[in-house]
């Protein structure tokens, strides 16, 4: 009897020391429990699961192209992932709603998940995808997570609690800054003609991208070799003044420098040709300089106040002040080169992006192929009531300005996406989902 009692006390002590590490694998029903109560009861120092996701090291996030006036963007402390308990995960899973992402059901995630799986299967499965001081995740674990979710999709509409039963939910704290991007549609011509005088350039043959090792040795991120010497690549002002002229690099022409600037800001867009045809201008390379958004520049120079940084206001000012607008845009030394494609815009995985599902991330925070749950209030149309988006999202893109503790949500194309992009700058809740089976198998 005494031996049995000692064994029981030993088991209880072990569980108490492990915190939620073992209990997280046991699904628990929390239907009806308020999410605010769940958050209030979280402990600051939470035990990890068997293979913890480590604490990422973030860089300060650059300003987006434009943003809502007065939006909070301060992020205090180093971002860290911690495993939610079973009840917390269940409460969060039951709050997800695909309709908030304009999805008819969870099964609508099948196609974007196939894109992630196609990318993940090309990676070395036993190598780390996310390496941090306190733990790591391999590409194989990310693949197993996406594959398990893909196989569960037909069951989730009837039983969303499976997301809590089958996955560990790692909360990212503090909440990251969420901005948005979209695929602009601009009038363009494949040949220069009156009304279409601003060129889009293909990647120049003399543009070289420095490896990480070369950058550590002092080489610029992008460079050219001139007279045997390494030179930083031409910046925006030099290119606008003709540094690339006469090389046949012009692949299309748009109506204004602002149209070209916004295409470069978003990294891709749709060119609407005079005959009604459409082509996609897709990111091919950049000149290696740090990006500065037009809204940021207009605000910093005192040209426009914070409440006039929307696309309509910025376009109106640029059209009324073409030369000052060129001078302001030249302060952004970054320049993007394109290639023409058929079909829709693709992300870093070379696959089409899905509106309100695809995320652009810093891979040191969320590697490509990651599955996550996003909880955010999107600005309402015309200053109306904010709209809740609580759904599964996929890390499927990257961006030169997406660094550190920041996420960029793909919003699609069209006027509505453009309006939302101009005012989306909010704090968002994010949980990284990892298959429990994948964690056990490591």
Residue 442: band (very low, low, confident or very high) from pLDDT cuts 50, 70, 90: low
Q: What is the pLDDT of residue 135?
A: 73
Q: What is the pLDDT of residue 271?
A: 94
Residue 354's closest CA among 5, 4, 102, 64?
102
Is residue 147's pLDDT more than 90? yes
Q: What is the pLDDT of residue 381?
A: 64
Mean pLDDT (the chain, rounded): 80
Q: Mind listing the pLDDT tens digit for each residue in 331-348?
A: 999 999 999 988 777 778
What does the alpha-carbon distance between residue 341 and residue 331 come to, in Å, rounded to a whole number?
Answer: 30
Give 260 or 23, the one with higher predicted confidence: 260
pTM above 0.75, yes or no: no
Among the ranges given (56-65, 174-183, 280-289, 315-324), the one the predictor scored with the smallest mean pLDDT: 56-65
User: In the numeric block, which tokens belong to residue 353?
Assistant: 């992006």
Q: What is the pLDDT of residue 349?
A: 81
Query: What is the second-level CATH architecture of the domain 182-341?
Result: Beta Barrel (2.40)
In the chain, what is the straight-line distance between the N-terminal and C-terminal CA atoms, in Å?
38
What does the alpha-carbon distance between residue 61 and residue 424 come to, in Å, rounded to a whole number?
Answer: 15
User: In the numeric block, which tokens belong to residue 319?
Assistant: 């059209």
Strand 177-183 and strand 425-427: the pairing is: antiparallel
What letters, b where the CB count within 10 A reaches 16 and e where it falls short, cover 42-80? eeeebbbbbbbbbebebeebbbbbbbbeebeeebeeebb
What percent of the chain stands above pLDDT 70?
Answer: 80
What does the alpha-carbon distance between residue 166 and residue 254 come to, in Å, rounded to a whole number?
Answer: 50
Q: What is the pLDDT of residue 382?
A: 59
Q: Mind listing the pLDDT tens digit for each residue in 370-393?
A: 999 999 988 766 566 778 899 999
* Contact (Cβ atoms closer than 8 angstroms) between residue 181 and residue 408: yes
Is residue 247's pLDDT more than 50? yes
Q: Mind listing the pLDDT tens digit for each residue in 46-97?
A: 322 333 443 332 322 333 333 322 233 334 556 688 899 999 999 999 999 9
What does the alpha-carbon distance between residue 142 and residue 215 come to, in Å, rounded to a whole number?
Answer: 29
Average pLDDT over residues 120-138: 87
Spans of all domains in the chain: 26-179+350-413+420-441, 182-341
Fold for domain 26-179+350-413+420-441?
Answer: Barwin-like endoglucanases (2.40.40)
Q: What is the pLDDT of residue 61?
A: 32
Q: What is the pLDDT of residue 399?
A: 77
Average pLDDT over residues 262-290: 90
Is residue 114's pLDDT more than 50? yes
């Amino acid at each position: 009897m005494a031996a049995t009692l000692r064994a029981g006390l030993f088991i209880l002590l072990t569980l108490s020391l492990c915190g939620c590490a073992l209990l997280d694998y046991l699904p628990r029903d929390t239907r009806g429990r308020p999410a605010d109560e769940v958050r209030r009861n979280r402990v600051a120092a939470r035990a990890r699961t068997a293979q913890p996701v480590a604490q990422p090291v973030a860089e300060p996030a650059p300003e987006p192209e434009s943003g809502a006036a007065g939006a909070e963007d301060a992020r205090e402390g180093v971002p860290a992932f911690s495993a939610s308990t079973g009840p917390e995960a269940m409460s969060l899973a039951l709050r997800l709603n695909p309709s908030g992402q304009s999805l008819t059901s969870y099964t609508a995630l099948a196609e974007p998940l196939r894109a992630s799986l196609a990318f993940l299967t090309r990676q070395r499965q036993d190598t780390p995808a996310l390496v941090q001081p306190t733990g790591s995740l391999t590409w194989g674990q990310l693949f197993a997570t996406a594959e398990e979710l893909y196989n569960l999709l037909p069951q989730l509409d009837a039983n969303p609690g499976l997301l809590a039963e089958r996955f560990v939910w790692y909360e990212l704290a503090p909440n990251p800054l969420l901005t948005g991007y979209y695929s602009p549609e601009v009038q363009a011509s494949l040949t220069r003609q009156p009304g279409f005088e601003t060129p889009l350039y293909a990647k120049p043959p003399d543009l070289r991208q420095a490896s990480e090792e070369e950058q550590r040795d002092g080489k610029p991120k992008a460079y050219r070799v001139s007279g045997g010497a390494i030179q930083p690549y031409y910046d925006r002002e030099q290119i606008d003044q003709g540094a690339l002229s006469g090389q046949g690099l012009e692949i299309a022409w748009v109506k204004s420098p602002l149209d070209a600037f916004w295409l470069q800001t978003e990294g891709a867009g749709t060119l609407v040709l005079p005959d009604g045809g459409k082509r996609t201008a897709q990111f091919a390379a950049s000149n290696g300089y740090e990006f500065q958004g037009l809204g940021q520049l207009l605000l910093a120079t005192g040209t426009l106040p914070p409440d006039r940084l929307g696309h309509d206001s910025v376009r109106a000012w640029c059209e009324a002040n073409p030369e000052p607008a060129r001078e302001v845009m030249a302060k952004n030394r970054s320049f993007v080169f394109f290639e023409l494609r058929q079909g829709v815009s693709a992300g870093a995985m070379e696959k089409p992006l899905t509106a309100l599902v695809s995320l652009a991330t810093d891979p040191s925070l969320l590697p490509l192929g990651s599955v996550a749950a996003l909880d955010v209030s999107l600005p309402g149309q015309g200053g109306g009531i904010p709209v809740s988006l609580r759904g599964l999202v996929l890390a499927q893109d990257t961006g030169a300005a997406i660094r550190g503790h920041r996420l960029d949500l793909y919003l699609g194309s069209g006027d509505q996406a453009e309006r939302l992009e101009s005012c989306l700058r909010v704090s968002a809740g994010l949980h990284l989902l990892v298959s429990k089976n994948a964690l056990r198998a490591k």
